[in-house]
Each structure stands twice: as C-alpha cells, then as structure tokens.
C-alpha cells in the first residue's frame, strides 16, 4: 500500500495563553481531566490505588507525546560529506516505535524501514531513528506518519530518492472493536528514484533479507 497523504502542518505545543481555545491546559487541569475519566469509567479516583494516577498519567503523556516539541529538521540538518563519493542505497531497518492513533488515543506499535540514495553526503544513522520518534510521539494515523517521515527526509536531506515502509499492530483493532490480535498494517511512501518499481523491489528485498 503506497500511502498518499496530505500532511498536516507540523504540530507544536499549544502556548500558555488565554486566547480562546488555543490555551494550553495547566497541569492541574490535565490531572483533573484524568479524574473525570476515572469517575466516568466507574471507579473512584480517591481510592488508594488511584490517588496518584492522574499525576502519573500526565507525566506519562509528557513522554508519550514529546514529539510535539521535537523538530525533525534538527536531526536532518547535518550531512557527512567525506564518504568517498558514496551514492548507493543506504538502508536502516527495524526501527522500533510506539505511537498513538488519533481516533481512539490507543497505541499502535511496530517497525520502520528507511532507505535513501545519498546526494552530497550521508546522514548519521541514529538520526533516522530520531526522526521516526519525533513523528511517532504524536497523535496521527499510520498513513500520515509514513508520509511525514518520507517528506521530512526528502525536504531536509535532499537525497536522490527516499523509501519508507511501516508495519504496525494497532491495539484499537486488537483490544476493541473486531478484536483481531496479530493483524498488522503496512504502509509505504516512495519518492524520487524509488518511484521506479525496480528500485522499490530492491529496497523491499534488502529489508526482508534474513540477518
């Protein structure tokens, strides 16, 4: 599946202002919202096991959604040019991630494989994993995340081609609704040289080759 998605503007944290609906809630308001949800679920937020839960949830959200304050361009801003003119495919595969779907705020988890043809230099390998994390730690769909990763690499690294493949299991499908455990969803985005079917096949063969 080649996901063609019109990406949303880069999402940032709401500012601490009093201007209409754009005011970012305070920590206390966020904790109270958790208490409301606990009561709505039928439990008592004042019982011993739940007293600290609102604080824990808010702290967890700071980590789980840290991508809103993370700029992927920072990780793609420096190339290493002293690579003896290397211009063949670079592949980083099996980049693990955990994200949350924007429809139910339930996790989906999986792996990302990225390939690109360098032009004028290569990227530090860990930077691709950081780009994945920057987009994964936000609310979105898998299709949007796939396209955002590919577009960020294409825009800031300017390679000859970019390939991104994402495979994930969505807990909103395995825990609720149809409850089909183990079902996975795969999305791809191919740009530049990778729009050619031969290049796509070469990329897929490399990421599927047993270690």
Rounded to two decimals, the pTM is: 0.84
Q: Strand ranges (DSSP E) for the chain?
A: 79-80, 90-101, 107-117, 122-123, 139-140, 161-170, 185-192
**Does the annotation count 101 as an active-site position?**
yes
Return d(Cα 211, Cα 203) in angstroms, integer.
15
Tell me 183's DSSP state: -
* pLDDT surpassing 90 at residue 118: yes
Ordered structural domains, the chain, with CATH: 23-64 (1.10.286.10), 74-208 (3.30.1130.10)
**Does the annotation count 100 as an active-site position?**
no
What's the alpha-carbon Rg for the chain, to the nearest Å?
20
Catalytic residue among 154, 170, 199, 200: 170
Asked if residue 88 lies in contact with residue 115, where contact means CB atoms within 8 angstroms, the answer is no
pLDDT per residue as tens digits for the range 54-89:
999 999 999 999 999 999 999 999 889 888 888 899
pLDDT per residue as tens digits for the range 29-60:
999 999 999 999 999 999 999 999 999 999 99
Return d(Cα 119, Cα 76) in angstroms, integer.
13
104 is in an annotated binding site: yes
Catalytic residue among 104, 143, 151, 158: 104
Catalytic residue among 142, 154, 199, 200: 142
């Amino acid at each position: 599946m080649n996901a063609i998605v019109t990406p949303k503007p880069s999402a940032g944290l709401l500012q601490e202002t009093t201007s209409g609906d754009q005011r970012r809630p305070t920590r206390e308001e966020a904790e109270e919202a958790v208490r409301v949800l606990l009561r709505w679920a039928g439990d008592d937020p004042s019982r011993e096991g739940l007293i600290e839960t609102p604080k824990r949830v808010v702290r967890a959200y700071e980590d789980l959604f840290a991508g809103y304050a993370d700029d992927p361009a920072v990780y793609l801003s420096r190339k290493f040019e002293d690579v003896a003119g290397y211009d063949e495919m670079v592949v980083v595969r099996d980049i693990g991630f955990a994200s949350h779907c924007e429809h139910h705020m339930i996790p989906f988890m999986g792996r990302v494989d990225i390939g690109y043809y360098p032009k004028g230099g290569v990227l530090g390998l860990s930077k691709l994993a950081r780009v994945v994390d920057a987009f994964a730690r936000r609310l979105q769909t898998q299709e949007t995340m796939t396209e955002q990763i590919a577009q960020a690499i294409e825009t800031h690294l300017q390679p000859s081609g970019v390939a991104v493949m994402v495979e994930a299991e969505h807990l909103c499908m395995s825990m609720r609704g149809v409850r089909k455990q183990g079902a996975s969803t795969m999305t791809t985005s191919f740009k530049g040289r990778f729009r050619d079917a031969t290049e796509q096949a070469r990329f897929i063969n490399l990421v599927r080759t047993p270690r």
